[in-house]
Amino acid sequence: MTKKLIVIGAGMASGRALEHLFDAGGDYDVTLFNAEPRGNYNRIMLSPVLAGDQTYEEIVTHDDAWYAEHNVTCRFGEAITRIDRDKKTVTAANGDVLPYDKLLFGTGSNPFIIPLPGHDLEGVIAYRDLDDTERMMAMGPDNKVVVIGGGLLGLEAAAGMAARGADVTVVHIMGHLMERQLDEAAGYLLRKALVDKGITVLCQANSKEIVGDNGHVKALILDDGTALPCDLLVMAVGIRPNVALAQDAGLAVGKGIHVDDQMLTSDEHVLAVGECVEHDGAVFGLVAPLYDQAKVVAKTLMGEQGAFIQKELSTKLKVTGCDLFSAGDFADGDGREDIVFRDPARGVYRRLVIKNNVVIGAVMYGDTTDSNWFFGLIKDKADISDMRDTLIFGPAYQGGTPLDPLAAVAALPPEAEICGCNGICKGDIEEAITAGATDLGAIKATTKASASCGTCTGLVEQVLAVTLGDDFTVPTTQSICGCTDMTHEDVRRMIKSQKLTSMAAVWQECGWKTSCGCHVCRPALNFYLLADWPLEYQDDPQSRFINERKHANIQKDGTFSVVPRMWGGITTPNELRAIADAADKYMVPTVKVTGGQRIDLLGVKSEDLPDIWADLNAAGMVSGHAYSKGLRTVKTCVGTDHCRFGTQDSTGLGIKLEKELWGSWTPHKLKLAVSGCPRNCAEATCKDIGVVCVDSGFQVSIGGAAGMDVKETELLVQIPTEEEAVLVIKAVTQLYRENARYLDRIYKWMGKVGLDWIRERIVEDLDERAELVARFELSQSIYRKDPWAEHANTKADRYRPLANLALEAAE
């Protein structure tokens, strides 16, 4: 006897299940309900429709003729309002009551709408069905669109509308795009490609509210106050299984409708398939597992044995020109290793995650031709130990070529600047090589490249190697760390000349061999990026040593020391009282006077730091940066205020300098001193930068040291006015920031570039001095602020334990 099957929802999964059922000769009388007023179409092809690559007609999977041929009663545009499982009936919206033998849920999912103020305005849509797609297709050249969500769907929507000429901005809350499928490096390449398509991409951007005008969306406001005007706002932030009807019917429901391996719900006469189900804790958004489920549904309906098994999934983005692939598991597991390959020349990134000689995950960007091969290795759990060394190059290269360490330099365009001092581009050097200059000396002589500060020597040698091939051997130089073959100087020049403004950009364009660097390169890169791109780059606390991350010096027992700033070594009774009170309140075991003319509170617990800072802030004190590779102290003597030998106001100049320079980050710590006369009571001539006042002005000298090495400063310039002295010191600080290797004090840097090179830029070339001062000021507009106040106000939680399990575990 023919049985009655009622299907709720005409989606891809239920459609496929019906195909399998009819192919197997299933004897069912099928009624198909669909809330959308149309039949089954290939929802994942909406993106090509949006982009104009396909039409709706081309993505229809089942037309009227197909439904007629299989005697499917179609009730499109009609919803089911009630299910009576005892009587085995469903009630349609118009009141019809229909009996069933078997019921199949294919209710799919609902797009998640963030309940921001204004989310119900006209012009705020999700990206889910053909109606949404048609709204987006109407966004022509003069329209502004904001897409919230930088995942698969959001980016496809953004690219589709950008292709139609709309002005599109993507707002993504995470640090990089598609963070579920991609790592940071691939996310960086993807972002670059989208920006090239004219799409504005904002990451780490938190939406606050949607504002409207006459009930229609006008702009999205971010929590930093930025307003993004828009005519259409698309929310593509995820989907939620549509379980409302199943829940009302009393079926077991979690995140989705619970099903077993046979796709049966908690009621043996009711099945579910597709995005609405939850199987073994997982819900499904990609098409491959839905099709597997559809096969099982047909088998179960036929009374045959079938079982749905979850398999590895892969993702591809359907955006023309963005070739990316992601598969397998990056989320958890022990004993995993990475193999990373980067080809900056072609914008290629590949990463394999390996566990027990089996590939368990793969991310590819730029060249995904081998993705099926890698996906096969993941699915088959193939043992890769025999081809491990060449695995990353793909199937064609088994036993093949080694990675070219010079690829990054080979990739540079001819106009890329190699020597910043002399303005020499890669093309100039190549011309010189063609003209017969085949070693470093000849290049220096003919082009002046690397003939000044010398920091680009490594890059010049690599241009020689790339151009001459085997005829030139690069002298071995020391790379930053095991993550790269490049030296500090090479990487710095790449950061400047290629305008690399993020950590991920450096890793990719310089061919880093690890996925996210190490404790040696990350702090160096963080400094280089913030020094060269103060506005574009955002300081990364996780790439800083603990002292700079927590703005306090760690001690051997894990406690910290706290040193408030005393400008020029001057304090007041009130400040001293506040320090004494803080020492009492937080039971500070040791209070010490430092060599930099201030007071150190040693032995403060991490969790007390925000509170003690808040107390010191309240008394008007700020961080002394006693922990930083940055400005520490400006030591002074009392000068003309009190001393009978004083020639100038050394204390006043010291305070002025400290107020101008504080908060700035430098390659290593920076200590200054100002002495009021040549008796030099402030010991200015063993500081990084020292000023000795004389009757006729100020002697500014640099490159002193009184640590592992003891060095006397060398005179940079004697200058008549205090204002000029301040400018010279700002300029030399900036020159040091822009050129020195990370962790080189000024004397080490001076030993490499020479005092004359510095003097040419600071003393002889007044334009360059002014430019250096301007760049220093620009950076200080970001960094001249008290980190204590900021952390005490907004990050105090991070200083406290995440949890206290003392009671829990002691039970």
Question: What residues make contact with another protein under the rule CB under 8 A?
Answer: 175, 183-184, 330-336, 338, 514-519, 522-523, 541-546, 549-550, 554, 556, 558, 606, 797-798, 801-806, 808-810
Q: For strands 314-316 and 324-328, give the pairing.
A: antiparallel
> What is the DSSP pairing of strand 102-105 with strand 270-272?
parallel
Query: What DSSP designation does 736 have?
Result: H
In whole angstroms, how close is the CB of 266 to another protein at the nearest point? 22
Q: Which is nearer to another protein, 403 or 546 (CB)?
A: 546
Instruction: Show the beta-strand stretches assigned E in 517-620.
Output: 553-554, 560-562, 590-593, 599-604
Which of helix, strand or coil describes residue 407? helix
Please list, residue by residue across 538-565, b when 16 or more beta carbons sit within 10 angstroms of its beta carbon and e when fewer do: bebeebbeebbbbbbbbeeeebbbbbbb
Residue (394 or 610) nearer to another protein, CB: 610
What kind and span of H or E run contains 130? helix 130-137
Pairing between β-strand 28-34 and β-strand 710-711 as defined by DSSP bridges: unpaired
The residue (of 184 and 312) whose beta carbon lies closer to another protein is: 184
Nearest distance, CB of residue 710 and another protein, angstroms = 25
Give the SS3 label for residue 155.
helix
Alpha carbons 263 and 760: distance in angstroms, whole number: 78
Please give the span between the terminal C-alpha atoms of the chain, in angstroms, as a whole number: 63
Under a CB-based contact definition with an 8 Å cutoff, are residues 365 and 186 in contact?
A: yes
Q: Please, what is the minimum distance in Å from the beta carbon of residue 363 to another protein?
A: 10
Nearer of residues 175 and 454 to another protein, judged by Cβ: 175
Residue 708 or 810: the one with the smaller Cβ distance to another protein is: 810
**Kind of pairing, strands 336-343 and 348-355?**
antiparallel
Measured from the CB atom, the residue of 57 and 557 that comes closer to another protein is 557
The minimum distance between CB 799 and another protein, in angstroms, equals 10
Q: Which residues is 79 bridged to in the sheet?
A: none
Question: Min. distance of Cβ 353 from another protein in angstroms?
Answer: 8
- Cβ nearer to another protein, comparing 337 with 581: 337
Q: Closest approach of Cβ 282 to another protein, in Å?
A: 12
- The phi and psi torsions of 728 (rounded to 5 degrees) equal -60, -40
Do residues 234 and 155 make contact, with C-beta atoms less than 8 angstroms apart?
A: no
Q: Judged by CB, which is closer to another protein: 15, or 523?
A: 523
Report, in Å, the least distance between residue 518 CB and another protein.
5
What letter would DSSP give residue 402? P
Q: Which is nearer to another protein, 331 or 593 (CB)?
A: 331
The interaxial angle of helices 488-497 and 521-532, nearest 10 deg, is 40
Q: What angle do CA 655, 657, 660 make, to 5 degrees?
A: 110
Query: Of the two residues 398 and 555, which places its CB atom closer to another protein in the complex?
Result: 555
Specify whether the CB–CB gap between 151 and 236 falls below 8 A.
yes
Residue with Cβ nearer another protein (31 or 543): 543
Minimum Å gap between C-beta 508 and another protein is 15
DSSP E strands in 12-162: the ranges are 28-34, 73-76, 80-84, 89-92, 97-99, 102-105, 109-111, 124-126, 144-148
The bridge status of strand 257-259 relative to strand 277-279 is: parallel
Of the pair 184, 724, the CB lying nearest another protein is at 184
Do 758 and 734 meet the contact criterion of CB atoms below 8 Å apart? no
Given strand 590-593, what is the order of strands in its sheet? 553-554, 560-562, 599-604, 590-593
- What are the structure tokens assigned to 646, written together? 């004083």
| Residue among 54, 312, 255, 44 at smallest CA distance from 152 | 44
User: Shortest Cβ distance from residue 329 to another protein (Å)?
Assistant: 10
Provide the minimum distance between the beta carbon of 332 and another protein in the complex, in angstroms, as a whole number: 6
- The span from the CA of 705 to the CA of 630, in Å, is 15
CB of 797 to another protein, least distance (A): 7
Minimum gap (Å) between residue 523 Cβ and another protein: 7
Between 544 and 635, whose beta carbon lies closer to another protein?
544
Q: How far is the CB of 806 from another protein (least distance, A)?
A: 5
Which C-beta is closer to another protein: that of 61 or that of 606? 606
The nearest distance, CB 184 to another protein, in angstroms, is: 7
CA atoms within a 13 Å half-sphere pointing along the CA-CB vector of 552: 28
Residue 801 beta carbon to another protein: minimum distance, rounded to whole angstroms: 5
Q: How far is the CB of 743 from another protein (least distance, A)?
A: 13
Q: Report the C-alpha gap between 653 and 693 in whole angstroms.
A: 10
Three-class secondary structure of residue 753 per DSSP: helix
Task: Give 211 or 481: the residue with its C-beta nearer to another protein.
Answer: 481
Q: Which two tokens stand for residue 122?
A: 């006209």
Task: Please work out, in degrees rounded to the nearest 5, the angle formed at the alpha carbon of residue 499 by the alpha carbons of 727 and 549.
Answer: 70
* Between 593 and 807, CB nearer to another protein: 807
Alpha carbon distances (Å) from 256 to 280, 595, 608: 11, 65, 45
Beta-carbon-side half-sphere exposure of residue 714 (alpha carbons within 13 Å): 11
611 vs 72: CA distance, rounded Å: 71
CB of 265 to another protein, least distance (A): 22
Query: What are the distances in angstroms from CA 667 to CA 50, 224, 664?
Result: 50, 31, 10
107's tokens: 């209710």
Smallest distance, Å, CB 225 to another protein? 22
Q: Which residue, 197 or 549, is less far from another protein as judged by CB? A: 549
3-state class (DSSP) for residue 811: coil
* Residues 223, 227, 229, 234, Cα dihedral to 10°: -10
User: Whose Cβ is closer to another protein: residue 77's or residue 589's?
Assistant: 589
